[in-house]
Chain A
Amino acid sequence: MRAALFVTCLADLFRPQVGFAALKLLEQAGVQVDVPQMQTCCGQPAYNNGDRDDAKAIARQVIETFEDYPYVVVPSGSCAGMLRLHYPELFGDEPGWQARAESLAERTYELMQFLTDVAGLAGVDATYDGTVTYHDSCSSLREMQVRAQPRRLLGTVDGLTLKEMRDTEVCCGFGGTFCVKYPDISERMVSDKVAAIEASGADTLLAGDLGCLLNIAGRLKRLDSTVRVYHVAEVLAGMTDVPGIGDGESA
């Protein structure tokens, strides 16, 4: 089985290890992975802010880069949702491109979804000594229907206990540019999320989207919380010997 990995811009730039964790997990699942070098960003910032022309231009570039692969795997629900749901919407007035967008959409998966539902990965070979809670990113949950998959895989990690937080399906207030356009509302929302995390008693927060993770980790660290933050792929790949998101070497 062959697949292309779309690393996503945030993972590429802020947390490269998420890309390597995804590679490792895909290889464990018996997938031969390619990483196309011409990839950048999926165009979501342009699309969600009403810049349809640029969103289309970027979408064309992504389609050209990835359309020769049988599968495209993305370690982010919102970027996967962009390719899966929104690319076909973008080209409503261009039948040729729309067909190409739809073809790519049908082969695009969020990482956890691909590992379990397509590649048939039943468990991982990893150890994590801690109690984790898992935040359901909005796009993963509602656009990609990812909910059970990461939890199922986390259940196979040695030493790991999963404790659900309240309102795990409620937005953390990131929302792409929302967090900088309406910082005050975003702050209140992420504070609610942080309170739910703390109340769960977990010592580690996991999620499948780097946007949410940077937001929540940023707030946790501002409040001097000791909760560690990782992308779920990092834990599943056993790559937690490095500091968590927002933790430094001095910590």
Chain B
Amino acid sequence: MNPQSHAFKHNVEAALDDVQLQQALRNVGRGFVVKRRSALDALPEFEALRVAARDIKDRTLARLAEHLERFEAAATQAGAQVHWARDAAEACDIVVNLCREAGAKRVAKGKSMVGEEIGINPALEAAGFEPIETDLGEYILQLAHEPPSHIIAPAIHKTRGQIADLFREAHRVHGLGEHLETVPDIVNEARQVLREQFLSADVGITGANFLIAETGSTVIVTNEGNGDLSATLPRTHIVTASIEKVVPTLDDASVLLRLLARSATGQETTAYTTFFTGPRRPEDAHGPEAFHIVLIDNGRSQMLGGEFHDMLRCIRCGACLNHCPVYNTVGGHAYGWVYPGPMGSVLTPLMVGLAEGANLPNASTLCGRCEEVCPMSIPLPRMLRAHRIREFETRLTPPRSRYALKAWAWLARRPRLYHRILGPGMRLLGLLGRRQGRFRWLPLADAWTRARDLPAPVGPSFMAQYRRTRREGTGS
């Protein structure tokens, strides 16, 4: 996916004017928040789990290479083939070659954010394959030629009516295309179409929520079971996973799984949690003949040990998106790349470059709600600030902001001058605004007064008044 994060401000305007998007955001944004709250209320040990989860990830990341090697050995032992990819291009090459070797035509794809990150669909299409998304949300977006707008609910920005319209158009070739009114009708029609795709696919590609070092297993959680069908029906199963997904043991994974569903959708557990360990064995009734795991770095080892290290704890639950007032106002597409919301505003500049992504860390009020709900206790506001510091230090901050900030800081460091200039200044402003109590417009304050009045200062500054009362009070 080509990053469009530089166009954030433009994207925002479009998002705010998009009536259907705003309606979709209102409908669903609150749902996840309320459901998560009640799931947490029903689990008194949530905080203890959160501490345990953080500890698991920290221990794992401290010796990541070792755990990955253990994973590779165990997976190989189970009959899987493990491939290593340094970046997106390498990962796509590996997957495309595997599809060629499998003599594939049609590829069934389970939902995978790392797949979006490396741009696997365009790579497959360019190589002559036909990738079919099997997750309902991803399928809808494939029909709409759009990227996901949320990491767990990719089509959350679409209303039911928009989806029904898309299906009516796309499903005519399947002899379908009636007008669909209800959600079950929409789901049933998608199921009917997708069933064909599962059965005719030669290769299935899925992501992985976790990689288990001790057993060499990969784990996916879904609510539709599409991941399992994508993984088990075709002859070849390819798992694409980023390297920070590894955890040492099955027990560790079970701790993280308990946090994941509750934080994401407010479910106690997702409908399907599947562990894949190697290809089918002779005694198995089902399963792929070949099982490949592509381990993708794509900038992550650069994050190890640095100021963005903690971001590698992220388990992609989407809680920070659901609780972010900015995300809920503009939706995911405005962020212009694969990962939106607070977690995306940290990751995107690291992956596409700070110059491309500089808007994102700034598009936050640092309200801290993301960190509060993050099951992995990732200090997201601190990392958004860290990006801003880099931006300032590399002079990517717009000159006007730089000068304004510098001027304010210069004055703030000269208290006597500060009070001598600003005290009378505010007094004058206060006199001008005394009758109305506010200004509808002020020179240089346009960004503020576009949407709000500026309350007028009231009288002389506190410091000026305080000095006067003290002088009077002491009688000197």
Q: Is the interface of B mostly helix, strand, loop or mixed?
A: helix
* In the complex, A190 has a CB within 8 A of chain B: yes
Which of A14-22, A102-110, A151-159 interfaces with chain B? Answer: A14-22
CA distance A179 to B389 in the complex (A): 19
Knowing A49-B405, A246-B437 are in contact, say whether A16-B451 is a contact too (CB < 8 A): no
A215 in contact with B466 (CB, 8 Å): no
* In the complex, B397 has a CB within 8 A of chain A: yes
Within the complex, which residue of B362, B402, B448 is in contact with A183, where a contact is CB–CB below 8 Å? B448
Give per-residue flags for A5-16: 1 if the beta carbon is below 8 A from chain B beta carbons, else 0.
001010111111
> What is the minimal beta-carbon distance from B230 to any residue of chain A, in angstroms?
37
A175 in contact with B453 (CB, 8 Å): no
Knowing A14-B458, A37-B415, A43-B409 are in contact, say whether A185-B392 is a contact too (CB < 8 A): no
Find chain A residues with CB under 8 A from B250 CB: none
Find chain A residues with CB under 8 A from B461 CB: 12-13, 16
A214 in contact with B408 (CB, 8 Å): no
CA distance A232 to B287 in the complex (A): 65
A49 in contact with B453 (CB, 8 Å): no
Within the complex, which residue of A7, A175, A251 is in contact with B365, where a contact is CB–CB below 8 Å? A175
B408 in contact with A175 (CB, 8 Å): no
CA distance A182 to B364 in the complex (A): 9
Find chain B residues with CB under 8 A from A174 CB: 365
A180 in contact with B16 (CB, 8 Å): no
Knowing A49-B405, A248-B435 are in contact, say whether A221-B390 is a contact too (CB < 8 A): no
- Chain A contacts with B in 79-101, Cβ cutoff 8 A: 89
What residue of chain A has the Cβ atom nearest to residue B416's Cβ? A38
> What is the minimal beta-carbon distance from B33 to any residue of chain A, in angstroms?
9
B438 in contact with A50 (CB, 8 Å): no
Q: Is the interface of A mostly helix, strand, loop or mixed?
A: helix
> What is the minimal beta-carbon distance from A155 to any residue of chain B, in angstroms?
25
Find chain B residues with CB under 8 A from A40 CB: 411-413, 415, 418-419
CA distance A152 to B408 in the complex (A): 37
B453 in contact with A218 (CB, 8 Å): yes
What residue of chain B has the Cβ atom nearest to residue A58's Cβ? B412
B426 in contact with A14 (CB, 8 Å): yes
Which of B204-212, B253-261, B367-375 interfaces with chain A? Answer: B367-375
State the interface size on chain A (CB cutoff 8 A).
76
> What is the minimal beta-carbon distance from A221 to any residue of chain B, in angstroms?
5
Which of B160-168, B294-302, B322-330 interfaces with chain A? Answer: B322-330
What residue of chain A has the Cβ atom nearest to residue B436's Cβ? A248
CA distance A17 to B461 in the complex (A): 9
Find chain B residues with CB under 8 A from A138 CB: 365-369
* In the complex, A241 has a CB within 8 A of chain B: no
19 contacts across the A-B interface (CB closer than 8 A): A14-B455, A14-B457, A41-B408, A50-B391, A51-B402, A51-B406, A54-B409, A61-B413, A138-B366, A142-B368, A170-B325, A179-B448, A181-B401, A182-B362, A185-B330, A187-B452, A217-B438, A218-B453, A248-B434
Residues of B that sit less than 8 Å from A by CB: 9, 12-13, 16, 325-326, 329-330, 362-369, 371-372, 382, 385, 387-393, 397, 401-402, 405-406, 408-409, 411-413, 415, 418-419, 422, 426, 433-438, 440, 447-448, 450-463, 465-467
14 extra A-B contacts, CB within 8 A, seeds A16-B462, A49-B397, A176-B365: A12-B462, A12-B463, A14-B426, A40-B413, A50-B385, A51-B402, A142-B367, A184-B16, A214-B454, A217-B455, A218-B455, A221-B438, A247-B437, A248-B433
